A and B are shown apart, each in its own frame.
With several copies, the nearest count.
Chain A
Amino acid sequence: MTTMDSRPLDVTAVRADFPILSRTVRDGKPLVYLDSGATSQRPTPVLDAERRFLETSNAAVHRGAHQLAEEATDAYEEARAKIASFVGATPGEVVFTKNATEGINLVAYAMSNAATAGPEAERFSVGPGDEIVVTEMEHHANLVPWQQLCQRTGATLRWFGVTPDGRLDLSEMDQLINERTKVVAFAHQSNVLGTVNPVETLVRRAREVGALVVLDACQSVPHFAVDFAELGVDFAVFSGHKMLGPSGIGVLYGRRELLEVMPPFLTGGSMIELVRMESSTFAPPPQRFEAGVPMTSQAVGLGAAVDYLNAVGMDRVAEHEHLLAERTLDGLRSLPGVRIVGPQNTVDRGATVAFVVDGIHPHDVGQVFDSLGVAVRVGHHCAWPLHRACSIPASVRASFYLYNELSEVDALVNGVREAQRFFGVGGAA
């Protein structure tokens, strides 16, 4: 793949790094993978890095005094440093979790643990009268943990609605985020609508009332350059598997001074300072939040994924996806009987496009796609309340990544035509 800075992304070269993309499905159809919003594929350098680690340096990290343990610890911590700098963080601000979902749960549980964790933890404590603010477009991962926190503590959940064109309805922001607000949690980019939310506006308001900001960056970090320090958020999460890295690893970012005083969540080995039968004290962050033998080779793999993305260049990735989004929106808009769910243009939106086809259930549309070798996702994409708000039971979602070709957009558009033809509904020419 090219690393020359002025040239656009060389998709052919990129694709050559992804073995799975050259397979066929359903009786010899070339795979058109448009489900990267669910999980991305892995390039050979990532697979190789993990394997090399396992064949040469595998050991338990931060626990051994032999050469393998040293090498493993170095590899693990180097990966942390690399990943931290990828998102504008320091290594101590990067906690490895199993996925983004765990990261959000970590913060939510630390907040309920604050009730019994002593005076230092006071600023995390929530209870009756306190409010947690989310949005109606959240992935279940950034909704249910907050519902549960409210259930455990008696706090109240409130939320932003969504406008008809798929943006956050900020018209009542100042009422919604108020002096009682303890947390404002929202997606950087919606995994359904593709909408990129106005982080700056929300952070500014949250600061005014002293609320913590939790950013769900699952769909932003893989797709464009993100700097958490610059965004000014307090916490953020993302998952390795959506950014060319392994499954089983995610990241919780937390501002240093918050992690310093936040109570632990999972407890056990490697996160302690002193253990007695009666009680224990805990290590400083990030170790305090990494209990047990961690996902070592997966951290190494995620480090290699970051190297890969850096070599391609995140701006180039974003630019390529912009082209894909534009062509997809144009293509789908040209079809009668197709309704795009979310912003109709590419302003503040990524290359994730959800839509419905009049007269055909999304599951049936998806089946037609599948028969053509086009892998999309159908259903509510873990954003059921959003679908309810849009008055649709489900949708079809095509989500693109750096390895998708423009011609794959055409496969998508043709797939819709084929579905309309097969089910004999509107507009099939």
Chain B
Amino acid sequence: MDLESMYQEVILDHYKNPHARGLREPYDAESFQVNPTCGDEVTLRVRLDGDTVADVSYEGQGCSISQASTSVLTDLVIGRSLKEALAKLDAFTELMQSRGEAEPDEDVLEDGIAFVGVAKYPARVKCALLGWMAFKDAVGRTSTSEVTSP
């Protein structure tokens, strides 16, 4: 195994300099998610503006993978339509469950494609999905949204 395939530069960058971090007001819904095997946790807030994801803010503790993937998430969904954001959620989830076999679409996932190496390690997939599960859950809790479950 080479560590570089998992810890791509992009991931380490997001880890060291996370985007959109911190909990912000106002928000429409909040979700707290935890990874019971390792204790990683994230609290994530979503603010919708009509059909648009106006803001995603978060706080949490965890490994480089969980922190970086949540940072990437904010890049991908803030300012998008809810529909687009959920499509990205689907795409990212599918990538992570591919066991590293998928060919991720950079147009859709941007920095998210760096996680293809993580998908080879089942124990880390949960880390990568932690923030995304919080996003999914939070969106589900907003009253305005009609979520089609991914």
A residues with CB within 8 A of B? 26-27, 62-65, 69-70, 73-74, 272-274, 283, 361-364, 367-368, 370-371, 378-380, 384, 387, 393-394, 422-423
Contacts and interface: CB of A to CB of B under 8 A. Distances in A.
Contacts of A364: 7, 63-65
Nearest to A71: B122
A62 B41 CA distance: 18
A371 B2 contact: yes
Given A65-B121, A364-B64, A394-B40, 20 more contacts: A74-B122, A273-B34, A274-B34, A361-B62, A362-B63, A363-B38, A368-B3, A371-B1, A371-B2, A371-B3, A379-B37, A380-B38, A387-B39, A393-B39, A393-B40, A393-B41, A393-B62, A422-B3, A422-B7, A423-B12
B39 A394 contact: yes
Contacts of A63: 37
Nearest to B37: A379
B124 interface: yes
Nearest to B61: A393
B6 A367 contact: yes
A325 B22 CA distance: 41
A423 B41 CA distance: 22
B124 A367 contact: yes
B107 to A, nearest CB: 29
Nearest to B32: A274
Contact of B38 (A74, A370, A379): A379
Interface string B22-57: 000000000000101111110000000000000000
Given A361-B62, A361-B64, A70 B40 contact: no
Nearest to A282: B36
Nearest to A360: B64
B102 to A, nearest CB: 18
A283 B36 contact: yes
Interface in B97-142: 121-124, 127
Nearest to A370: B1
A394 B38 contact: yes
A99 B66 CA distance: 33
A378 B40 CA distance: 11
A77 B56 CA distance: 35
A363 B122 contact: no
Top-9 shortest CB links A-B = A363-B63, A379-B38, A361-B63, A26-B1, A65-B123, A371-B1, A380-B39, A393-B39, A394-B39
Nearest to A62: B37
Contact of A65 (B2, B12, B124): B124
A379 B123 CA distance: 11
